[in-house]
Structure 1
Amino acid sequence: MKRRQFIAAAAGLPFALAAPRALSQALDELTIVYPSPGGLGYFALYAAIGEGYFAEEKLKITPRSVNGSAAAIQALLAGQAQLAHPGPGPLMAARDRGQDLVYIYNYFTRSQFNLVVPETSAFQKPADLKGKVIGVGTADGAEVAFVRSIFDAEGMKEGADYKFITVGEGGMAVAGFMQKAIDAYASDTAGAATLSLRGIKLRSLTPPRFQSYFGNGYVVTRKYLDENRGMLERFGRALVRGTKFGLDPANKAAVLKHARMGNPQQLENMPFAEALMEVYYRLTAPLDPAKGFGYNSPEAWEMWQKTLLASGDLKKPLDDLSKAYSNDLIAAWNAPK
């Protein structure tokens, strides 16, 4: 989904990893290709590596990074990895081209974009922003379309009921609020972390149904799913344990340490890393804990398909949308040990 990354990804470059605990003599190997080298964003994987959960499942994990979801899908289809981590849009586009890919684990369960206002403001809902100015990082960023769809649902039209102005990201967004040049901001993951770090506490005005626009998750080919269910059960069990470990505030220091394996540059500014980690905790927590980690909501998939059709990214509905995702392994992944 997101075009801008924290650092440029090196295509096909593996990260050197070492599982410090619970080594095994016979480990099955899994290579996973990610659309960016995000150690903090993929904290669950690195926590599961660092805490030895994959080793306990007799798995050796090799993460690799490429530049974007489309490239991740290409690497998967080329046999360079067993799993990929693309967004739902590129996956559905690939299925529309006849590639039988299956989204098996919903990792970023919430939208990485948000319509936010300072906590001290009087605005409580999107409709309160009628006649107001919404700051954006760039004029054509994906977050702009996301926030526009929120206002569309309220019957509010750009230009007549509100307007966007480009203020940039990070400190420029902070300045926009402090100078009262903007009333709200179309924020992405890093933007929310920056505003929080600079002392601007935020209130999200994103309606619950828009929070269901989930992001990237784990994808395999149908053939691999059918032939390696046991392997994927072991993978998902370890990943769920890594997620739970990461979401426990008591493990914050260990999570940040493990995340260095994936992208040490993200940890160079520790206050920013900690603020960013708080955002990722929210993005990866289940919308409905009773459904378990990794669960795919059929309603959320329908929402995504409608959005992609409206934007023209899909020319026609998929023949069978339910084949784009699977919840078959959710029970096994979330079963108590």
Structure 2
Amino acid sequence: MINRRALSAALVASLPLMATLGAPAFASDDLRKITFVQPSPSAINSFPVFVAIGEGFFEEEGLEVTVEAINGSGAVLQALSAGQAHFGRPGPGPLIAARTRGVDAVHIYNVAARSNFGIAVQEGSDYQSVEELRGKVIGTGTADGAEVGFARNVMTGAGMKDGEDYEFLTVGDGGPATAAFLNGEIEAYSASTADTAILNQRGMAVRDITPAEFGRFFGNGIATLGDTIRNDRALVEAWSRAFAKGHAFALDDANREAVLAHLAAGNPQEGEDKEFQAALFDAVRSKTIPAEGGEGLGWYPAEVWQEWQDALVAGGEVDGPLEDLSAAWTNEFAKIGREAVN
């Protein structure tokens, strides 16, 4: 079983070493060292970063990127606010919640342009809709990750309230999630695209019962602090150009072999089973392609930010709306990235 908690300690130690792979454009002493934090050890979930590292796109911008894996979006935002990282990949729900507590985190690139979460049940279960989960327990990988906010959003849409009409139980992912299903601790699981693929690949067949309309709710994206944007704009622009190049490179099937090699370097455990790695990459990559009518890679739709906030308020996850929701995100760096690719 691939399990992000079991891998965390090993990955945190190994990723900084892996982050220097690729043909260096500068001597190491000439590169600015920065840190990127991700909410799980999976290189595939952050594939543009590892591709940009492997292809030397960050080095071309004068950056040496260290990647560290921590546990969930809440921890990512804590690392950013504590000055322990320059960039991270949190979900929109946790970011809005953090801003209500005074954390000036800003999303700058929409990585998971299509929802990369869903509420899954065992393949053979009788559940056909989320409404049938009234009174049931829904498992989550983390206590405060993006999957929790997404599931609460879905359940609120079905007229149910957390703690009254259903319960969340933090069970972890991979093996622990499988055990929770088998032991009857949970009837459903709020899973990312990667989590679902892992469960199915490893013998726990699940199916998604999330209503189709929630597919528009984008998932985790790249974030930094507002202070970094204001006082270190050159860094944010350099990051954005390199990241966008890595994203575009990975979407080109002609580069598939190189991409999978970079991802295996970033997380050797994911690369051990080549067939599984390729299938998981395809699933995650598909969620990063904007829906028709969008403005291109990395672009945020303002109306969905509003829907995210409305759902968080309705579900009681935040006490009320932000004074200025537009300060939580920007499309200016996605535009800079797109110009670099084109």
Is TM (by shorter chain) over 0.5? yes
Superposed CA offset, 1:83-137 (max 9, x none) = 122222222222111122211111122222236799xxxxxx969x999xx9976
Q: Which residue of 1 aligns with 2:64?
A: 60
CA distance in 1, matches of 2:54, 2:37: 19
Question: 1:290-331 deviations in whole A, cap 9, x for unaligned?
Answer: 512221221111121122122221111111111111112222
Could you tell me which residue of structure 2 aligns to residue 178 of structure 1? none
Counterpart AA for 1:24: F
CA pair 201-286 structure 1, distance change in 2 beyond 3 A: farther
| Distance (Å, rounded) in 2 between the aligned partners of 1:251 and 1:201 | 31
Identity across the alignment (%): 39
Q: Secondary structure at the match of 1:30?
A: strand
CA contact (8 A) 1:126 1:154 kept: no
Residue ranges of structure 1 left out of the alignment (5+ in a row): 119-124, 158-167, 175-183
Amino acid paired to 1:19: L
| Greater mean deviation of Cα atoms: 200-209 or 302-311 | 200-209
Q: Aligned with 2:300: secondary structure?
A: coil
Q: Which moved more, 1:26-35 or 1:281-290?
A: 281-290
Task: Identify the residue that residue 269 of structure 2 maps to in structure 1.
Answer: 265
Separation in structure 2 between the aligned mates of residue 110 and residue 278 of structure 1, nearest angstrom: 14
Pair 114,93 (structure 1): closer, same or farther in 2 beyond 3 Å: closer
Q: Which residue of 2 aligns with 1:23?
A: 25
User: Kindly tell me: are residues 315 and 257 of structure 1, through their superposed partners in 2, closer, same or farther at Cα, counting changes over 3 Å?
Assistant: same
- Structural RMSD (CA): 4.4
Secondary structure of residue in 1 paired with 2:322: coil
Shift of 1:48: 0.9
**Counterpart Cα distance in 2 of 1:173 and 1:296:** 32
Confirm or deny: 8 A CA contact 2:116 2:219 kept in the other structure.
Answer: yes
Change (3 A) 1:48 1:289: farther
Q: In the alignment, what sits opposite 2:167?
A: none
- 1:91 maps to 95
Q: Contact between 1:34 and 1:86, CA under 8 Å: does it hold in 2?
A: yes
CA-CA distance at 1:203 after TM superposition: 8.9
Name the stretch that deviates more: 194-203 or 213-222: 194-203
User: Would you say the 8 A contact 1:10–1:67 is kept in 2?
Assistant: no
2:42 alignment counterpart:
38
Q: Distance in 2 between matches of 1:199 and 1:250?
A: 31
Q: Give the structure-2-normalised TM-score.
A: 0.75
Shift >3 Å, 4+ stretches: 3-14, 114-118, 134-157, 168-174, 184-188, 194-209
Residues 1-337 of structure 1 correspond to what in structure 2 (within 5 A)?
7-9=7-9, 13=13, 14-16=15-17, 17-25=19-27, 26-114=30-118, 188-194=192-198, 197=201, 209-288=213-292, 290-335=294-339, 336-337=341-342
Q: TM-score, normalised by structure 1?
A: 0.76
CA positional deviation for 1:151: 7.7
User: What's the offset of the Cα at 1:6?
Assistant: 7.1
Larger radius of gyration: 1
Q: 1:187 deviation in Å?
A: 5.3
| CA distance, structure 1, for counterparts of residue 332 and residue 68 of structure 2 | 26
Q: Counterpart of 1:32 in 2: which secondary structure?
A: strand
Paired residues of 2:8 and 2:70 also in contact (CA < 8 A): no
